[in-house]
Amino acid sequence: MKPDTTIAPQAPLRPALIVTVLALLLGLAGAFLSVMITPEPARAQGGATASCTVDASTACIQGSIRTDEGEPATGVVLTVTGPGGFTGTAEVDGTGRWALPVTEGGQYTVALDTDSLPDGQFLTNAEQDERMVNATLGANAGVIFQLSATEGATTGDTAAAFNWDRVGQQLASGIRLGLLLALAAIGLSLIYGTTGLSSFSHGEQVTLGGLLAYVFANQLGMNIFLAAMITVVLCAATGFIQDWAIWKPLRRRGLSLTQLMIVTIGLSIALQYAFQYFFGAATVRIQTANPSTVTLAGITLTVQSYVAMGISVVVLVLTGLFLTKTRTGRATRAVSDNPALAAASGIDVDRIIRLVWTVAAALAGLSGVMLGLVLNGVNWMTGLQILLLMFAAVTLGGLGTSFGALAGSLIIGVIVELTNLVLPGDFKYATALLILIVILLFRPQGIFGRAERIG
């Protein structure tokens, strides 16, 4: 029997404990946002900035252009021509994005001005400096231009784009992604550890955090610090309400884990389309101003990225201390290890599970806020896109172990970002699926998990 499972009877968890945990998260979120350098206002660039919102009468032709080292190709000029003699220009902003609104559907031509490319950068497939795109009102239309450090490079010539500076940049981006991913993955792992349930709706908690921050900071004009505080509180409340209204009643009815998992899938789909209904399909930005960047040791990241990474480390360390040094944390680990024995020891299992749902939702909401700021946008599918990464992380680290979720998140984050050295765009997310398959084939218990015999 493990030491963690032998715990003296304890008093029932009180709401004050939940308030204390939430206050800690809010304080950390406040530190993150209060030390953030105020970004420079967005500049009008060639008649359009990277801010464009679709509606029933507007379509957005947009894209992102980065150098071969992954840095924004700021200042690159694009000219868009289309139906009715339309002509418009757009310029890549400090985040690497450009966008141009159009009010008539149809086929448009997007031409890149090669003379505006940064020094030492060349257009891949230089003879194809024009792209055709069909714009539909109420939707986004994306256009892809890829740059290389070698003149005359073609698509797929990955060796020409490879250099060690880019490796360092992608490695830093991987650590950043891993730390932010860990905030959400630890909550997912704790839920699995205490209930045995793989929650497919946990990604939507991340989306909710980003979208709520967008509403309060962007739409209602609140201070970003206040918006983040309200967001974390509301996300924590959704976790508390979920367990009170859904999961506890279903557990008491004796539903199997398979049935509960199907409920999480249905909840995930319902939330996704609710987000799409209320916010649309476009990517929204919590802050519309261009973020400031800082270069350290040749690595260029936004100020938000550096501070978010620091805050993530602090939150993850405090979470580890909570689980290992406090009575409630040890009780949580005891419930995860053996719920029946924990209940026999005097632990209120239902209250522990409710606390886990509350804290997990708060952490996911905080992750959503920071991801929305760091990645410069959030949409209705943000949670779905990173859900596979979260499952790969907790599986790699070991199901039900918070420290395993942290280690797995860092590994997944780094591998996913390094994949961009050889694969373009969102192909990198397919790497997570490959890793997940390999883990299940050769070490299904994960790095920190225990091998168990079934049957």
Ordered per-residue pLDDT tens for the chain, 455 residues: 344 444 444 444 444 444 445 545 555 555 444 444 444 333 333 333 456 877 778 888 988 888 876 677 888 899 999 988 899 998 888 777 888 898 888 889 999 888 888 877 888 776 677 888 888 887 778 888 888 776 665 555 444 445 666 788 889 989 999 999 999 999 999 999 899 999 999 999 999 999 999 999 988 988 888 898 899 999 999 999 999 999 999 999 989 999 999 999 999 999 999 999 999 887 888 877 667 778 888 788 888 888 889 889 998 999 889 988 999 989 998 998 888 888 888 899 999 999 999 999 999 999 999 999 888 788 898 998 899 899 989 988 887 778 888 999 999 999 888 887 777 666 777 787 788 888 888 888 888 766 654 43
Whole-angstrom distance, CA of residue 194 vs CA of residue 416: 29
In terms of DSSP H, where are the helices of 108-197?
Answer: 158-161, 164-195
Domains contained in the chain, CATH given: 3-35+166-442 (no CATH), 59-65+70-162 (2.60.40.10)
CB atoms within 10 A of CB 39: 17
Paired sense of beta strands 59-64 and 140-142, if any: parallel
Name 434's Cβ contacts closer than 8 Å, sequence gap at least 6. Answer: none
Paired sense of beta strands 122-123 and 106-112, if any: unpaired
Q: What are the backbone dihedrals phi and psi of residue 426, each rounded to the nearest 5 degrees, phi first?
A: -80, 5
Give the DSSP letter string of 39-59.
PBPPPP-TT--S----BTTBE
The residue among 147, 156, 37 whose CA lies nearest residue 92 is 147
Cα three-residue angle 239-374-314, rounded to 5 degrees: 60
Cα three-residue angle 95-99-101, rounded to 5 degrees: 155
Give the distance from CA 52 to its chain's centroid.
22
In terms of DSSP H, where are the helices of 201-288?
Answer: 202-213, 224-242, 248-252, 257-279
Residues forming beta bridges with residue 106, ordered by sequence position: 135
Q: Which tokens hold the place of 300? A: 């260029």
Q: Which tokens hold the place of 248? A: 């506890």
